[in-house]
Structure 1
């Protein structure tokens, strides 16, 4: 077996409209209907699958942005996004990365990364 990439990540949400608006407005992601009937965000090679659940158990996942970390932070502040950790610099897989962690409306943690 030769796995090459992730097709989708399921994001537990309590309110589909609030989540769709958040991911569309904050990350500028197109919202699409997925083959399984769920609504999700299109990341070109993969999808974020929004699954409405009775009780959200938050998850953690990472996204890669092309913007500078300063621009990312300013954008998140402008959208009043909950920032859980200020930008930090670290090394991942032998690459330098600037990272900031935020919360979506259901307290899912999203690490937004700018690879150098």
Structure 2
């Protein structure tokens, strides 16, 4: 076996329209129609698949790497009234210095945004 990358991640959501809006507006991700008829958000050659549920019992956690400055990211998140739960804080990711901020999407799925030095 020779796995090299993640193709997609599935995120449980209770309000598909609100989640599509959140990921499109906050992260500027294009919304796409997936082969199975569901909606997703494109992230380069990867994608996020949204699964509609009545209640998100177990929110997921995942991370994005961003190329902007943390000051700009922090201001952008505040301007969009995003729920910031931690940071910005300095971290060591994969033995490299980084700055991270952790936010929640509308269904309390946790997203860590990291900028590497």
State the TM-score, normalized to the length of structure 1.
Answer: 0.97
* Distance across 2 between alignment mates of 1:26 and 1:90: 23
1:14-53 paired onto structure 2 within 5 Å: 14-53=14-53
Could you tell me which runs of 5 or more consecutive residues in structure 1 were left unpaired when the two chains were aligned: none
1:1-116 paired onto structure 2 within 5 Å: 1-56=1-56, 57-116=58-117
The total of aligned residue pairs comes to: 116
RMSD of aligned alpha carbons: 0.8
CA displacement, residues 37-71 of structure 1 (integer Å, 9 cap, x when unaligned):
21011001210101101221211100111101111
CA displacement, residues 68-98 of structure 1 (integer Å, 9 cap, x when unaligned):
1111000000000000012011111111111
**SS of alignment partner, residue 73 of structure 1:** helix
Could you tell me which runs of 5 or more consecutive residues in structure 2 were left unpaired when the two chains were aligned: none
Report the alpha carbon displacement of residue 36 of structure 1 after superposing the two structures with TM: 2.3
**SS of alignment partner, residue 19 of structure 1:** helix
**SS of alignment partner, residue 22 of structure 2:** helix
State the TM-score, normalized to the length of structure 2.
Answer: 0.96
